[in-house]
Chains A and B, each alone.
Chain A
Amino acid sequence: MSYSFCLEVSGDFACFTRPEMKVERVSYDVITPSAARAVFEAILWKPAIRWHIRRIEVLKPIRWMSLRRNEVASVIPAGAVKSAMKQGKGHLGLYIEEDRQQRAGLFLRDVRYRLYADFELLSPDSDNTTVKFAEMFKRRASKGQCFNQPYLGTREFSCAFRLVDSDEPIEKPQELIGKRELGWMLYDIDFSDIENPTPRFFQATLQDGVLIVPAGDSEEIRG
């Protein structure tokens, strides 16, 4: 028996960065399945379970804002870390004030979504039962507990969440009525080949503000 949960998340800003425009950031129009998964995982994640996003409902019209921010330009080289480990001393610091890049971003503002998901039990045994994790999630989510603050795409855009009964009525903005093609959207990163993680994409369509996410093993997911 599988349990389905619905979380309502909202935040002032969000950025679900598109891979093709991740330097001068541009967000996807709506939350991506992987970002939604991260919200569920922030509330409950155990090695025994894997979350699957099924459906995303958009409750606020899609609004944009552009902003420039300072971000860092380099990464700490792995070689420097290795040599520091070997020698027992070294310099690992990276001073953001000295190594800045100004980057522009096109972000979403004032967002609210309903995320529908269920989880899969990877290794069911007497200790790991579906009911156990379902109850844990329900208890934690309804109390507002989380391992880390859930966020909308990037960590600086944290969000509020609440557990929703799936029959709770929703009001949809008039603007979202109709069909919108959002193009190819990132589904998730496939880590099965740890040397070369590959992104997986699916054709996202927003019908009256609802995005149906295909199952992870379906043909609609490519990559």
Chain B
Amino acid sequence: MILQALYDYYQRKAQDPESALAPAGFEYKEIPFILELREDGSLNQIEDTRFIENKKKRAKAERVTQGVKKTSGVAANLLWDNAEYVLGVDTKGKPERVKEQQAAFLEKIRALDLADKDKGINAVIQFLEQLDHSVLAQQPLWEEITKTNPNLTFRLQGQPYLVCQSRLVQNALSNSANDESAKATCLITGETAEIERLHPAIKGVWGAQTAGANIISFNLDAFTSYGKSQSFNAPVSKEAAFAYTTALNHLLGKDSNQRMQVGDASTVFWASKEDALEDSFAAIWGASPAKDDPDRNTSAVKAVYEAVEKYGRKPAVGEETIFYILGLAPNAARISIRFWHVATVREVSQRIVEHFKLLEIDRSERDPEFLPLWLLLRAIALLGKTENVPPNLAGEVMRSILDGRPYPETLLSSAIRRIRAEQQVTYARAALIKAYLNRLTSTENLTVSLDIENPNQGYRLGRLFAVLEKIQEEANHGLNATIRDRYYGAASATPVTVFSTLMKLKNHHLSKMDNKGRVNNLEKLLGEIISEIQDFPSHLSLKDQGRFAIGYYHQRQDFFKKRNKTEPMTTANSVTTTDNQGDTE
């Protein structure tokens, strides 16, 4: 499933000449310096391929022969490697080892046996044989090369391609792959083929080793079965192993717009056919806040809304296109699968729209219309920091969104805990609680804006608390701390303990107010809210605490609404009218 889909993706992309997927035996690698040689093997110049991106220097990615798996031993790549291997520069103070490395590098090129056929190879061999550091030291870039030990490769002067990209080298590589050794049924393709013993590493998984980690690896004895070694425990043909790793590395690459970070899981996604969702999926979750287009998130979500509204449940273009979402997390030099979701593009789009509709709640102009996932998760984390989000939670949330199932319970409890700790019902938290409760039970119907009909105790008490706070604010202008700072936690969890005090306080506050008309209005509003509350309950359940937060948030947003419209709140009825307008919008 996962590997098959990646294999298919490679096949699809390999057909496309525009794509940056390397053919078999090759990979794309950032090579900062290219040694340009003359035909006689002397050095013409060292070319610097780097360019500036985001104030950092980055090297151009070149198609080079696929690198070998580097371990502690000496293992040279073919025709490209770091300065230790290529030039014998000793950067770590181990001259013996460097000598060995360079010898291995040269030996590998000689083993190709192309020196008399390919001018480039011949030049490289000559260059390496008569390597003279004193000549090299005159090069302006020499100091940087000895310091940073960068990757290097060769080009023959006047040739547009690298030495390792010549047709002869390519042919030699594809032929050498056919030696008969262990053959078995490949579990990706089902063909009988030669089995890969060690799979290419997968790079770019956040938190994993920079050299790359593996999905298929058997790095400890306890992982093997039936006396088999390494990847013979899971027979995958060389071709399929190359294809799935290349595809995955491409998706995880630096420039890929088909990856995003969901909590600690590096997430990639792709479709079985070309699809617009591939490009916009990351933007929908606000994964990459592009500087040049701050509205990318909003417009991406709107596009999905439109697509869903247009086609609804009717068959749509690309309906049967399958969309894959894969979340990867590192674990002890291996990569584990955090989540894996397969659905049609239509299903995924519908789920996305459902999710954002659930989140919809009154907001101020400054707040984003569609809450990106990371903003949601940060809202429930300690100090609002991404690293304080529980590691597994982001993936679980993603899964519940895509499955259209209730959100994880931790979401509600942490949101309420953060609200009580900070006495702040923020837009993101309110949206989250609303979405959580509405999805949990189909009968729950928390509205986008103030719902004066909602009879729920928690909701009513939340509204009441917001009005009491408002009264206090209007009675004492410029307060630093309101009743919210002192009483929010107790009011939302154990109402009976504080509300009687608060009701008494309210009388004091009202008596301080000069505008008697205003006092009247507020009292009317209070009466209307309290009419549904028989008794202050001794405690509220977690869900009711959530509704309390929503009631408080709604009522408070409602006060702001009035102020924005510069329309004085006259009676409690005016609340009704504006609310209705809000509904019909």
Name A's B-contacting residues (CB within 8 A).
18-24, 26, 28-29, 63-64, 66, 68, 71-75, 101-106, 182-184, 186, 189, 196-201, 203, 222-223
Contact = CB atoms under 8 A, between A and B. Distances in A.
B331 A20 contact: no
Contacts of A26: 2, 337, 340
Report the contact-size class of chain B (Cβ under 8 Å from the partner): 35 or more
B184 A106 contact: no
Contacts of B527: none
A55 B161 CA distance: 56
Given A20-B216, A73-B220, 4 more contacts: A19-B187, A20-B215, A106-B337, A203-B190
A160 to B, nearest CB: 24
A19 B1 contact: no
18 contacts: A18-B234, A21-B2, A22-B233, A23-B334, A24-B336, A26-B2, A66-B338, A72-B222, A73-B222, A74-B221, A106-B338, A106-B340, A182-B1, A184-B187, A184-B190, A186-B187, A201-B190, A223-B185
Contacts of B218: 23
Interface in B143-192: 184-185, 187-190, 192
Contacts, number: 103
Interface string B214-237: 011111111101110000011110
B336 A64 contact: no
A101 B332 contact: yes
Contacts of B226: 189, 196-197
Interface of B: 1-4, 184-185, 187-190, 192, 215-223, 225-227, 233-236, 329, 331-332, 334-340, 392, 395, 399, 403
Given A21-B337, A64-B340, A104 B187 contact: no
Given A20-B216, A72-B222, A75-B222, A106 B236 contact: no
Nearest to A220: B190
Contacts of A182: 1
Nearest to B220: A73
Given A20-B187, A74-B222, A198-B184, A64 B339 contact: yes
Contact of B185 (A24, A105, A201): A201
B1 A223 contact: no
Nearest to B329: A104
A169 to B, nearest CB: 27
A156 to B, nearest CB: 16
A183 B4 contact: yes
Nearest to B392: A66
B392 A75 contact: no
A13 to B, nearest CB: 16
Nearest to A203: B190
B223 A23 contact: yes
Contacts of A197: 226
A26 B399 CA distance: 16
A21 B332 CA distance: 15
B208 to A, nearest CB: 12
A21 B3 CA distance: 10
Contact of B222 (A71, A102, A198, A201): A71
B222 A101 contact: yes
Given A106-B339, A182-B1, A183-B1, A21 B215 contact: yes
